[in-house]
Amino acid sequence: MQKNPQSRIKKFAVIGDPIEHSLSPLIQQAAFDELNIKAQYIKIRVKEKDLEKFITKRATKLNGFNITIPHKEKIIPLLDWIAPRAQVIGAVNTVLQHNKKFFGFNTDGDGYILSLPIQVQKNLKDMQVLLIGAGGAARAISAAFLQKGVKKLCIANRKLNKAEKIQKDFAKISSKNKLMTCALESTTFNKQLQQANLIINTTSVGLHGTSFENFDWSLVKKTSFISDIVYNPLITPLLKEAKKRKLKIHTGEGMLVYQAALAFELWTGQFPNTQLMKQVMLKALTPSGRR
């Protein structure tokens, strides 16, 4: 008997709660379609209390899925295998299903690095990075930088103890003196502002038009890159200030695109057209295309 053609279509999803505004279906579907891969990528709202049920039931029918807030950490004990990087970070954003076994990965940090200008990627070993924030995104990006090998990384956070927790958790992937921490707006922070070649905001500051107070721009090197992982708005208050001062800026859409591309590659073995994915995403973010 001939199989139902629907069953030959590969199925993928992004899960989270809330999930309504996720751009992942749009960018992943564009990549599948361009490569003529018969696949459907949908969004599924999974409440925290239903995560285990999702894994045992619906997830077995998916070839793979992405995970967003609030499940990235809680999904770990429910999976069969976790990639070493995801283990260090303590969060998974991509799952591959094979024979009802679930394999967890984290592509956020490498996605961020791939989104950086090529001259920065080529010179990581000479880069002194000041990363602001100590949440999930900060953990993923820091782990990637440390494993790829930067000259120095300083994690600055409002609550210093959260940055120190990352330093402790990452002791085994970081050689001595590579990773340091400081409190936002401290003397050490200001010293780091003077030394950094790349300053990254991974906090939610900027999301709703908010900005950092007491950020001493006069200390920032003229050659520094200023980067923000917030992509809506694309030009955050931090980037607006940086532009005013003629500093080089790096916007947040690339991280979403490249973490998605790396997930796509894990599922299909093919690296997708990231230019197309970016175009689709930017179109959705413009006022006329906003959903």
Q: Give contact residues for ligand ATR (rule: CB under 6 A).
A: 133-138, 157-159, 162, 184, 202-205
Residues making up the chain, counted from first to last: 291
Tell me how far apart the alpha carbons of residues 261 and 273 are, in angstroms, rounded to a whole number.
8
Q: Which two tokens stand for residue 42?
A: 């949908």
Percentage helix, strand, coil for the chain under 3-state DSSP, each rounded to 5? 45, 20, 35
The smaller minimum CB distance to ligand ATR, of residues 31 and 86, is found at: 86
3, 10, 72, 100: the active-site residue:
72
Tell me how far apart the alpha carbons of residues 212 and 42 are, in angstroms, rounded to a whole number.
36
The smaller minimum CB distance to ligand ATR, of residues 60 and 204, is found at: 204
Task: Give the nearest residue (CB) to ligand ATR.
Answer: 135
The smaller minimum CB distance to ligand ATR, of residues 101 and 159, is found at: 159
Tell me how far apart the alpha carbons of residues 180 and 167 are, in angstroms, rounded to a whole number.
7
Number of neighbours of residue 147 by Cβ within 10 angstroms: 17
Distance of CA 99 to the CA centre of its chain: 28
Contact criterion met (CB below 8 Å) for 109 and 142: yes
Number of neighbours of residue 24 by Cβ within 10 angstroms: 23
The smaller minimum CB distance to ligand ATR, of residues 142 and 274, is found at: 142
| Closest distance of CB 181 from ligand ATR, Å | 12
| Closest distance of CB 202 from ligand ATR, Å | 6
| Closest distance of CB 155 from ligand ATR, Å | 9
Cβ-based burial of 232 (10 A; exposed 0-12, middle 13-18, buried ≥19): middle
For the question of residue 72 being annotated catalytic, the response is yes
The smaller minimum CB distance to ligand ATR, of residues 209 and 287, is found at: 209
Which amino acids are annotated catalytic? 72
